[in-house]
Amino acid sequence: MSTLEIKELYVSVEDQEILHGVNLTIKSGEIAGIMGRNGSGKSTLAKTIFGHPDYKITSGDILFNGESILELSTDKRARLGIFLGFQSPIAIEGVTMSNFLRTALHLKNPDEKLENPIKFHRKLKSQFEQIGLDASLVNRGVNENASGGERKKAEMIQMSVLQPSIVVLDEIDSGLDIDALRVVAENITKQREETNSGFLLITHYNRLLTYTKPDIIYLMHKGTIVKSGGPELAVELEEKGYEKLVAESSNQN
Ligand SMILES: Nc1ncnc2c1ncn2[C@@H]1O[C@H](COP(=O)(O)OP(=O)(O)OP(=O)(O)O)[C@@H](O)[C@H]1O
Ligand SMILES: [Mg+2]
């Protein structure tokens, strides 16, 4: 059972405050969705959870299982079992996906024997095929010459290999074709069932949320969470748009 708590988090980039007191919790076995306009601070939150050096926490805390992770480096956060699927995954030329993931898995579980490279390679190829990626990508540099959608699918494979307890996926649905979106959603659901991972799904569209059935939806606006609710909030957002819903929630407060 794992919990990631974001407490009254204030974050600045180059002396400009982007997050102004964000509170939310991600728990094992739960799926939280976060929606919000372009530039509202969603990716800033994701990157801050992972200790990106450009994002300075001026106040507040991030707790994993009750303990602050602010002093931990990004790799230590990953070893705790926190995973980030990037909005724009980068390419790492010269490092094959197979070597990258086999090494990452060993770093995460150092007490376990490094997996046999041939067996690992074979397993990875079948995972690539299962998600609709050409198995030859396993031998290429990580995301090398890969399309946007292929990179998103590769993030999902990294997630299922590493089996994290808390998963943050930043717009995993952007750039995916219709079939791929369904497969990705199935992977999220499967991971939740098999390993009881907790998810924070950052998205602009209700479709991913319809497939994954989140427990809670957060609405982010100008660096704070202005509203939360059940899956019906995502439907309401698509119907009314951000402006109307944000205005309604500020009238209620
Ligand atoms: N490294 C940075 N340097 C300068 N400004 C930044 C940096 N990162 C984020 N910002 C600014 O912070 C604000 C929030 O950006 P962020 O990427 O978190 O938005 P977002 O909610 O993820 O938007 P989108 O839906 O478009 O992905 C934006 O105004 C952005 O320009
Ligand atoms: Mg973003």
**CATH number of the domain within which 224 lies:** 3.40.50.300
Ligand 1: nearest atom to the Cα of 46: 18
Work out the pLDDT band at 253, boundaries 50, 70, 90: low
What pTM, to 2 d.p., does this model score?
0.95
- CB 43 within 8 Å of CB 245: no
What domain range includes position 99?
A: 94-145
The verdict on the CB of residue 15 being under 6 Å from ligand 1 is no
Task: Kindly state whether residues 87 and 202 are assigned to the same domain.
Answer: yes
Report which of 48, 8, 9, 68 is spatially closest to residue 202, judged by C-alpha positions.
48
Helices (H), the chain: 42-49, 74-80, 97-108, 117-130, 148-162, 178-195, 206-212, 232-240, 242-252
Work out the pLDDT band at 193, boundaries 50, 70, 90: very high
* Distance in angstroms (rounded) separating the CA atoms of residues 49 and 43: 10
Task: Kindly state whether residues 135 and 76 are assigned to the same domain.
Answer: no
For residue 89, CA distances in Å to 94, 167, 223 come to: 16, 15, 23
Assess if residue 188 is contained within a domain: yes
Task: Kindly state whether residues 105 and 191 are assigned to the same domain.
Answer: no
Task: Kindly state whether residues 53 and 75 are assigned to the same domain.
Answer: yes
In the chain, how many domains are there?
Answer: 2
Assess if residue 102 is contained within a domain: yes
- CB 68 within 8 Å of CB 22: no
* Residue of 9, 12, 13 with the most ligand 1 atoms within 8 Å of its CB, for mutation: 13
Backbone angles phi, psi at 25, to 5 degrees: -135, 135
Report which of 38, 36, 57, 50 is spatially closest to residue 86, judged by C-alpha positions.
50
Q: How far apart are the first and last CA of the chain?
A: 34
Work out the pLDDT band at 251, boundaries 50, 70, 90: confident
Task: Kindly state whether residues 99 and 79 are assigned to the same domain.
Answer: no
- Mean of the pLDDT values across residues 27-44? 97
